[in-house]
């Protein structure tokens, strides 16, 4: 996560997201930067509109939360309609165990 956060900090500051810049932020935060992860991050962000990606990332959880909340109410109603399970007596349980170990 710290790698992505460093890219977001650079973007917010209006700086170019480069390997050296990401590594510098990580070092300033006391994180030992993994060169391959830094290279992968900067390569994956090439040509990406970060502002647009952030808008989509923020909108997606909000859009997904509304149907989930609406679906939760009917699920609760169904639970009330289901008949309660009958209690199993100790004798019935012992008979079932006896069949297993016959």
47-71: pLDDT as tens digits = 999 888 888 878 876 666 666 666 6
Quick check: 100 pLDDT over 80? no
Stronger pLDDT, 76 or 61, i.e. the higher one: 61
Quick check: 44 pLDDT over 60? yes
Closest CA to 38 of 63, 69, 17: 17
Which structural domains are found in the chain, ordered by start? 2-72 (1.10.10.1410)
CA angle, residues 64, 65, 69, in degrees to nearest 5: 125
Quick check: 87 pLDDT over 80? no
> 59-98 burial, b for 16+ CB within 10 Å, e for fewer?
eeeeeeeeeeeeeeeeeeeeeeeeeeeeeeeeeeeeeeee
The rounded distance, in Å, linking the Cα atoms of 24 and 20 is 6
The pTM assigned to this predicted structure is 0.56
Total residues found in the chain within this entry: 102
Stronger pLDDT, 40 or 55, i.e. the higher one: 40
Quick check: 85 pLDDT over 80? no
**Scanning the structure block, which residue is given the tokens 């149907």?**
67
């Amino acid at each position: 996560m710290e790698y992505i956060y460093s890219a977001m900090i650079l973007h917010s500051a209006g700086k170019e997201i480069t390997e050296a810049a990401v590594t510098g932020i990580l070092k300033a935060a006391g994180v030992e930067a993994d060169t391959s992860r830094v290279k992968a991050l900067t390569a994956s962000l090439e040509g990406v509109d970060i502002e647009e990606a952030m808008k989509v990332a923020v909108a997606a959880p909000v859009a997904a939360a509304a149907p989930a909340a609406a679906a939760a109410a009917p699920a609760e109603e169904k639970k009330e309609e289901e008949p309660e399970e009958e209690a199993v007596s100790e004798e019935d349980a012992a008979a079932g165990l006896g069949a297993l170990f016959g």
